[in-house]
Amino acid sequence: MESKAQDCCACSAAPKLVFACSGSADVGAISDQAARKITREGKGKMFCTAGIGGRVPEIMETTKSAAKIVAIDGCPLNCVKKSLENAGFANFAHLQLADLGMAKGKTPVTEENIAAVAEKCAKLLEC
């Protein structure tokens, strides 16, 4: 069940999906808020990571048809990445907040941190 997520076409009406960590740590909150910001700005659409884990048919089908997928993980456990891979998706971009210098338990949930993650995510969604 491999996704065609990275085959991005300007003529496509397929969605650009963002799956985010929404864990209990500060980096989970930043990931979640960055995905919501991307959605508000119309650069992508936050989608349900739990639906991927639960293999909800409608969520799986929409994800298969996505023009592009980005997984945002707050910490090095990479729950979002693993959820997508375990569901059979392999063709997606992955953003790990540690790569941006953000560490679990040490990164305040600020507008500046949320904006930095949203900006990086938006670049990954570009065709």
- Tokens standing for residue 127: 């065709």
- Tokens standing for residue 42: 């119309």
Quote the CA–CA distance of 94 and 112 in Å, as a whole number. Answer: 21
Give the single-character DSSP code of 106: T
Exposure of 119 in the CB half-sphere (CA atoms within 13 A): 7
The pTM score is 0.89
pLDDT digits (tens, 9 = 90+) for 57-85: 999 999 999 999 999 999 999 999 999 99
pLDDT digits (tens, 9 = 90+) for 14-67: 999 999 999 899 999 999 999 999 999 999 999 999 999 999 999 999 999 999
